[in-house]
Amino acid sequence: MRKFQVASEDEIKNAETTDVYFTRTREILEKEGLSDLHVTAEITTGSLPKNWEWGILAGVEEAAHLLEGVPVDVHSFPEGTLFHSSDVEGVREPVMVLEGRYLDFCLYETPLLGLVCQASGIATMAARVRKAAGKKTLLSFGIRRAHPALAPMIDRSCYIGGFDDVSSIVGAKLLGKDPAGTMPHSLIIAMGDQVKAWKSFNKHIPKKVPRIALVDTYYDEKTESILAAEALGKDLFGVRLDTPSSRRGNFSEIVREVRWELDSRGFDHVKIFLSGGLNDETVAQLSLAGVDGFGVGTSVSNAPSIDFALDIVEADGKPVAKRGKLGGRKMVWRCDECLREKITGLTVDAPQCPNCGGPMGKLLAPFLSKGRLSKTLPSPDQIREKVLGQLKRLSTP
């Protein structure tokens, strides 16, 4: 009996997580003598969730492992690319293009879309939170709101989206980082006294772990912050306010009070961190109150998936497309200064940016050639730096 309701790596790789109608399609095409039908298929989205202006493409590394060994050619936006659902003229942007015998890759449509849809949604929300937070510290707290099998994907997507640290042990391990976190309310409740809990944390936990005291368990946040500062003194790195919604009121004012009381007592070195029900909008508001960092959970781990679809646009060299889609092979060009894209036919020369008149470069790059990787995949750190660089050049939220 399967103990956890998750597919194994082998089941994913063997396309056992596909929709059954693709196995039926493959059977029909084989029996009708269409096994050698050569197609071009592209992954696009008609819109982005919540009226987002832009998205961050993620899940590309897993897509590479899924399609590796499958005799298909793939061009893709690099992972971490900021994209729009459509170009400057309203044409849907293909973020990934597959070419080859349809029977060779048709069973992979379902898992391929699943990999890029969910990871891209999480990375996009993470990037939006990062842009809202500016240079303030961001910690991924969202794994408890999702199936534990997804913890590595959630933490990786948050990290490449711009977060500084992740909380899960396995997620941090796969990123080559140390997991980060503070303390739970259960520690304080189990010990029966917040001061004892803070002092025990300081006594037993390795010194490399920042001492961040949770200060909303029993008393007012201002009172507990002062108690923590007096109890740990110079050892206290920060306080975390996880104030419940029933007590929150004007959260910005609570933060300002805590900051004032700490500073007035000589504890200006103590940083203030917030967690609980935060998203890109609330982080933007609270950043102005003097917060030093945020632990963000549900809004990133439960971010809406980006509704990508895969459609055949060329068959045996002829343009084809379902209603609502544009047939034929395409190229996506982007101005790296304006971060805007333009779609053209595959053989059209490089256009000029319609906004600034500058040069535009190809965004779809060789990814797999007959199932073999065209180049080494970038590290999470490299992807994260790419995302942060694009966010700095982005003018819209």
* pLDDT at residue 244, as a whole number: 87
Retrieve residue 321's tokens: 């497309």
* pLDDT at residue 307, as a whole number: 98
- Among the four given CATH numbers 3.30.420.40, 3.20.20.70, 3.40.50.1240, 3.30.1490.100, the one describing domain 134-301: 3.20.20.70
* pLDDT at residue 248, as a whole number: 86
* pLDDT at residue 230, as a whole number: 98
Beta bridge partners of 55: 83
Contact 119, 58 (CB under 8 A): yes
* pLDDT at residue 394, as a whole number: 87
Instruction: Supply the angle between the helices 380-393 and 151-160 in degrees, to the nearest 10.
Output: 40
Enter the DSSP assignment of 306: P
CATH class of the domain at 9-120+305-393:
alpha beta
224-228 contact pairs (CB < 8 A, 24+)? 224/194, 225/258, 225/261, 225/262, 225/270, 226/261, 226/262, 226/265, 227/194, 227/195, 228/194, 228/195, 228/198
* pLDDT at residue 334, as a whole number: 96
pTM metric for this prediction: 0.96
CA 217 from centre of chain: 31
Domain ranges of the chain: 9-120+305-393, 134-301
The series of mean pLDDT values per 10 residues for the chain, 397 residues long, is 95 97 97 98 97 97 98 98 96 98 98 98 98 97 95 98 97 97 96 97 96 96 98 98 89 96 97 96 94 97 98 97 95 94 93 92 96 96 98 78
Q: How many CB atoms lie within 10 A of CB 200?
A: 15
Residue 1 CB partners (closer than 8 Å, separation 6+)? none
Retrieve residue 169's tokens: 């042990």
* pLDDT at residue 396, as a whole number: 55
Contact 58, 332 (CB under 8 A): no
